[in-house]
Amino acid sequence: CASTRVTIIGAGKVGSTLAQRIAEKNLADVVLLDIVAGMPQGIALDLTQARGIEQHDCQIIGTNDYADTANSDVMVITAGIPRKPGMTRDDLMRTNAQIVVEAVQRSIAHSPNAILIIVTNPLDVMTYLAWQASGIPSNRVMGMAGVLDSARFQSFIAMELGVAITDITTTVLGGHGDLMVPLPRYSTVSGVPITEIMEPETIDRLIKRTRNGGAEIVELMRTGSAYFAPASATCLMVESILYNQSRVVPTCAYLQGEYGLNDIYVGVPSRLGCAGVESIVELNLTEAELSALHISAESVRQNVHQAKEMLAAVA
Ligand code: APR
């Protein structure tokens, strides 16, 4: 662990679970930073006390001071506020935009070579703002959503068919929201597209459930949102970057002409390695699939525009 360091900004549910995963997989030392005094320090101490039982040797530091995050290899931004009763979607976007922009600027000031993974919602908008605020090349800034969305699709297919989840691969493109684009043609059971083994109505049902994946959990939990699967999904990206694994996974990445889209962050299959997003894989989409991706991207673009105006108004 000694040579690599991952900082997580926001030691809430996703951040603290991610810290646990990274440490228990022995991937890197972890710095947990939060705005709440004492909280990240307490979590770090708790996780540290489990080291002997879990048999790992990673250091876990909790802090409220960005100086302690210096020289991180990867920085994950989960800081933000959840939507509270009475709060509009716009209020949430404005508040989280301010939090993410500040967190990124302060993070990069201490770790100029870091790779950034954004987790705060609304994901695609926050990732774009984070990249602009960071001043670093776009390949070093990305967002986590597609790994989670495709993991949800994967698990619903496994539950429906009663087959091993490890034999299922899924692909979900687009923004992290109602307009995401799960791709049945590129979702397979041991290499066989699900379009060949499932009825269209069944596939549609599973796609709807995937799109609604986060909301279904919020409805059940009532006072919180998903964090185990989001932390696992982020951990997979961190691991592929730190160990230069070249995993090809759906990532909220910056597009410069790929899929006919320009100057936008949206979910596409990307190869993740030590340089960050090393390349974007361009799938051969049908007209309908491409049009669904463009509709999703257009909605992200409008929200980015709106968020930028909000930030300008409070500046
Ligand atoms: N700097 C650092 N930390 C902050 C700041 C800030 N300016 N503002 C808020 N935080 C912290 C909060 O104190 C809290 O501990 O961010 C943490 C967010 O944690 P939770 O509220 O538990 O939210 P969580 O479930 O972890 O989700 C985090 O990920 O999946 C997305 O939609 C989700 O945007 C949300 C994010």
pLDDT (tens digit, 9 = 90+) per residue, 220-234? 998 889 999 999 999
Average pLDDT over residues 108-115: 98
Q: With 90 as the cut, is the pLDDT of residue 268 above it?
A: yes
pLDDT in tens, 20-54: 999 999 999 999 999 999 999 999 999 999 999 99
Q: Which has the higher per-residue pLDDT, 59 or 224?
A: 59
Q: Which two tokens stand for residue 264?
A: 């936008």
What pLDDT score was predicted for residue 264? 98
pLDDT in tens, 166-204: 999 999 999 999 999 999 999 999 999 999 999 999 999
- The secondary element (H helix, E strand) that includes residue 64 is none
Q: 305 an active-site residue? A: no
Q: With 70 as the cut, is the pLDDT of residue 1 above it?
A: no
| 66 close to ligand 1 (CB < 6 Angstrom) | no
What pLDDT score was predicted for residue 95? 94
User: What SS3 class is residue 80?
Assistant: coil
Phi, psi for residue 2 in degrees, rounded to 5: -55, -30
Per the document, the length of the chain is: 315
| 183 close to ligand 1 (CB < 6 Angstrom) | no
Determine which of 32-41, 81-90, 100-109, 140-149 has the lowest per-residue pLDDT on average: 81-90
Q: With 80 as the cut, is the pLDDT of residue 210 above it?
A: yes
| 80 close to ligand 1 (CB < 6 Angstrom) | yes
What pLDDT score was predicted for residue 249? 98
Average pLDDT over residues 252-261: 98
What pLDDT score was predicted for residue 88? 83
- Residue 277 forms beta bridges with which residues? 272
What pLDDT score was predicted for residue 100? 98
Confidence of residue 143 (pLDDT cuts 50, 70, 90): very high
List the residue whose alpha carbon is closest to atom 20 of ligand 1.
12
Ramachandran region, residue 276 (left: φ > 0; alpha: ψ -120 to 50; beta: rest): left
List the residue whose alpha carbon is closest to atom 25 of ligand 1.
13
Q: Which of 56, 176, 294, 305 is catalytic?
A: 176
Q: Which two tokens stand for residue 71?
A: 């020289």
| 225 close to ligand 1 (CB < 6 Angstrom) | yes
List the residue whose alpha carbon is closest to atom 7 of ligand 1.
99
What pLDDT score was predicted for residue 87? 77
Interior/surface letters 100-137, b for 16+ CB within 10 angstroms, e for the rest: bbebbebbbebbeebbbbbbbbbbbbbbbbbbebbebe
What pLDDT score was predicted for residue 2? 45
Q: Say if residue 122 is preceded by a cis peptide, omega within 30 of 0.
A: yes
Average pLDDT over residues 260-275: 98
Q: With 90 as the cut, is the pLDDT of residue 315 above it?
A: no
Find the 77 Cα to ligand 1 centroid distance in Å: 8
| 36 close to ligand 1 (CB < 6 Angstrom) | yes
| 121 close to ligand 1 (CB < 6 Angstrom) | yes
Residue from 17, 18, 81, 104 whose mutation best tests the ligand 1 pocket (most atoms within 8 A of CB)? 81
What pLDDT score was predicted for residue 314? 85
Average pLDDT over residues 2-16: 93
List the residue whose alpha carbon is closest to atom 10 of ligand 1.
79
User: What SS3 class is residue 300?
Assistant: helix
Strands in the chain per DSSP E: 5-9, 29-33, 60-63, 74-77, 115-118, 141-143, 168-169, 172-173, 181-182, 188-189, 192-193, 247-256, 262-273, 276-280
Mean pLDDT estimate for the chain = 96
